[in-house]
Amino acid sequence: MAAAAKRRWLSGSPLTLAVHLSAFLLVALWLLPTLGLFISSVRDKDQIATSGWWTALTATEQRQIYRAPGADGQNERDSQFVISGNVLEGGTGTISAFGISSREVEQFAAGDTAELRNGAKLTVQANGDFEIIRDEAFERSRGQRIFFTATTPPRFTLENYGLVINAESLGQSFINSLTVAIPATIIPILIAAFAAYALSWMEFPGRAILIAVVVGLLVVPLQMSLIPLLTAYNSIGDLFGVPSKTYLGIWLAHTGFGLPLAIYLLRNYIAGLPREIMESARVDGATDFQIFLKIILPLSFPALASFAIFQFLWVWNDLLVALVFLGAGDDELVLTGRLVNLLGSRGGDWHILTASAFITIIVPLIVFLSLQRYLVRGLLAGSVKGG
């Protein structure tokens, strides 16, 4: 069977082969960055900073600097004074070269002895062990700088995820994101489904104008309407004594921003359903609400699930609307804001960034896979057999 399928695939028309090849390339283009991000998230932080993810399975060569202990770390041995240690500081790797000046970082090979200015001698072994020997006692409190080139084997770790998961208040931010995303996904779907049915199958004055307004709202930028919407919400809140920084505000904001697209998509889908089904239901005495509840909703489940995926992903990854309507306090900050603060306090730590990216996509990935299963079920349930 597999061989026959392979022959049919290879013996197809050039257009079919081009379609298969294009689909394969598109999938590869989407998966390759994700694969690279995942590999980087489990690599050692030093290796992330010095080499690309495609070198994760090969040894990497890094140039580093080590500051040896000063006079306080010396010991006397055979009438000589010795400062010893390991430049790798407990890590793994092989030293190939070292130097005592930033201009010649590979002046000496591993195992050679370098003459220092104070009459001391420095030896660095391939395993990282070093000794600085001098006939007289060391006097400087500041230790000698050792530049070295080390070849380190691939190292994978879960420490990056541990740093992110154990960050302060991350759990509260995770709950805040769920509290925002779930209602902000359900509310616009409920409203849009009723509106889409009314705009599709109910006759009333001004229906065409309402459809045109919905289409026009699709092109309104979020950034342009955000501040006026916040001002109006605060004014209404002051009138009725409602606090400005509440979950109700961000739910309404996401509902308002998501409704135009939701109504547009659902209206196009519901309008394409067979008219005979609705007419038969009306002949049997069904009301519009009964038709919507028992016929339209089951048949429209694919469209509802599709919009739910996009709306949840958009709300979950949102930061701007959350900061404006909810605030940046520790009790209100959403997950994206918490991770931004974590990155800001740690500078350019790429290992934190890559691990944070995968932690943030766990919930959206679960939602997507779950709705994909229901989406297929909805497609089968909404099929109509011809008479």
Q: Which residue has the tokens 């197809």?
A: 12
Q: Where do the domains of the chain lie, and which CATH numbers do they carry?
A: 60-153 (2.60.40), 163-381 (1.10.3720.10)
**What tens digit of pLDDT does each residue of 174-212 get?**
899 999 999 999 999 999 999 999 998 888 888 889 889
Neighbours of 9 (CB within 10 A): 11
**Which DSSP category does 143 fall into?**
P
CA angle 285, 289, 292 (to 5 degrees): 100
* pLDDT computed for residue 182 by the predictor: 93
Please classify residue 130 by burial: count the beta carbons closer than 10 Å to its beta carbon, then call 0-12 exposed, 13-18 middle and 19+ buried: buried
More confident residue, 120 or 46: 120
* pLDDT score at 8: 55
Q: What is the pLDDT of residues 240-260, one digit of tens each?
A: 776 777 888 889 889 988 999
- Confidence class for position 146, pLDDT limits 50, 70, 90: very high
Chain-centre distance of CA 278, in angstroms? Answer: 44
Residue 129: strand pairing partners: 86
For residues 147 and 65, the answer to whether their CB atoms sit within 8 Å is: yes
Contact call for residues 181 and 316 (beta carbons, < 8 A): yes
Q: Whose CA is closest to 160, among 19, 83, 49? A: 49
Inter-residue contact 336 to 318 (CB < 8 Å): yes
Read off the pLDDT band of 44 (50, 70, 90): confident
> Tokens in use for 257?
């921003």
3-state secondary structure 320-362: HHHHHHCCCCCCCCCHHHHHHHHHHHCCCCHHHHHHHHHHHCH
pLDDT value for 84: 92
**How many whole angstroms separate alpha carbon 282 and alpha carbon 276?**
10
Distances (CA, A) of 119 to 24, 99, 134, 137, 286: 65, 16, 7, 11, 102
Q: How confident is the model at residue 383 (pLDDT cuts 50, 70, 90)?
A: very low
Judged by phi (left if over 0) then psi (alpha if -120 to 50, else beta), residue 241 lies in: left
Average pLDDT over all residues of the chain: 83
Region 373-378: mean pLDDT is 59
How confident is the model at residue 347, as a pLDDT? 52
